Amino acid sequence: MKDLNESDVDDAVLTEFFNKVAFFLVYPYFRATLTQMAGNMEVPIPVLPVVQQGDAAFSDIEVKRPETKK
């Protein structure tokens, strides 16, 4: 993996990774931040739904790649 170049990873693989892994890694932090913000503002804490794989799909992700040397 250390020799893998960013341009070698297909956009479809990145989209699949985001749909299956990245969203679910970020979601708990989003929930915690939202809860903390509501507490700081002294408003009722919003109830967020439990999200399961397949509930959220991101198919139109635009992948911006830095210029790389080949």
Residue 40 pLDDT grade (very low, low, confident, very high; cuts 50, 70, 90) = very high
**Mean predicted confidence (pLDDT) in 33-46:** 93
In a domain, residue 5? The reply is yes
CB pairs under 8 A, 24+ apart, for 4-11?
5/68, 5/70, 6/65, 6/66, 6/68, 7/65, 7/68, 7/70, 11/61, 11/63
In a domain, residue 59? The reply is no
User: What does the pLDDT read at residue 29?
Assistant: 92
Burial of residue 1 (number of CB atoms within 10 Å: 0-12, 13-18, 19+): exposed
39 pLDDT exceeds 90? yes
Task: Give residue for tokens 């919003």.
Answer: 46
70 pLDDT exceeds 60? no
41 is in which domain, residue-wise? Answer: 1-54
In a domain, residue 12? The reply is yes
If one counts the domains in the chain, the total is 1
In a domain, residue 27? The reply is yes
User: What does the pLDDT read at residue 14?
Assistant: 77
